[in-house]
Amino acid sequence: MNKSNQSRIISGVMNWGKWGENLSNNKMIELIECNIETGINTFDHADIYGGYTTEREFGEAFKSSGIQRDKIKLITKCGIQYPCDSKPFKIKYYDYSSKHIRYSVENSLKNLKTDYIDIFLLHRPSPLMRNDEIAEIISKLKNEGKIKIFGLSNFTEPQIKLIKKNIDVEYNQIECSLTNSEFLSDGVIDFCQTKNINIMAWSPLGSYFKKIDNIHKRIEPVLKKLQEKYSCSDDQLLLAWLMKHPAHILPVIGTTKKERIKASMEAIKINMDYVDWFSLLEASKGKRVA
């Protein structure tokens, strides 16, 4: 995949289906078109979303839209065996056997109505994953043209090293935001930069809009002052704060609201001053930086 054609903001589809807004086919088409018109051409999936239904619903909407395949980038993930109506597993567990990875890729291709996946990720690390087996099947799928780029999601530095031993890793999708800023000190993002591994951020707005806790109460007055300075919204500032990091973080936004999708792209234009960036970090932590 030509990374230069990938949008800086990624649209996460987890909430499009049964796990969220339960959008109709027409509403999904509208949302796909809205993202593309706004400049967001990359869509983040996982096989388990909507209890293994959202990929298929998105694929049907994409096919109905008539949009050319080369106009969008598709990300999907596999590995979690998630108990739900369509998959009545006794427990939640992980499977990174070559058989399951191939099945997952083939099934995602069918669901998404496509011949290839732009970026394929292992969803979460498993204690039982075998790096040699994973590398062998991923190499085969890449050679077959079914996946273009391979990456990971929620992997620590040692876990990345384990997988990277036998195959190139180009992405790691992790949770990072102003309200969940451990990523700044746990070493993962620093290691990824040394190995040219791109960082995607899930839940980039963190808990700020989800709960009124002490972190929210400390951040809110700082955000209000900066909203006046930068003439923007609070969610745009939270994205701009994250994108200020030199790792060139790619936020995966989960909104299904068209106005917020459009607003998120404007956040790219905000070049936050260092003192403002650190004032938000100080508010989040509740103390001066060390």
Active site residue 49: yes
Beta strands 80-81; 93-94: pairing state: antiparallel
| Whole-number Å distance between alpha carbons of 186 and 253 | 23
- How many CB atoms are located within 10 Å of the residue 14 CB? 17
Tokens 């289906």 -> residue: 17
Q: Rounded to whole angstroms, what are the CA distances from 222 to 57, 225, 275, 278?
A: 41, 5, 12, 11
| Whole-number Å distance between alpha carbons of 142 and 144 | 5
- How many CB atoms are located within 10 Å of the residue 164 CB? 16
Q: Do residues 94 and 79 lie in contact, with contact meaning Cβ atoms separated by under 8 Å? A: yes
Q: Which residue among 49, 96, 208, 230 is the active-site one?
A: 49
Beta strands 42-44; 73-78: pairing state: parallel
Distance from chain centroid for Cα 1 = 17
Q: Do residues 218 and 268 lie in contact, with contact meaning Cβ atoms separated by under 8 Å? A: no
Q: Do residues 46 and 76 lie in contact, with contact meaning Cβ atoms separated by under 8 Å? A: yes
Catalytically annotated residues: 49
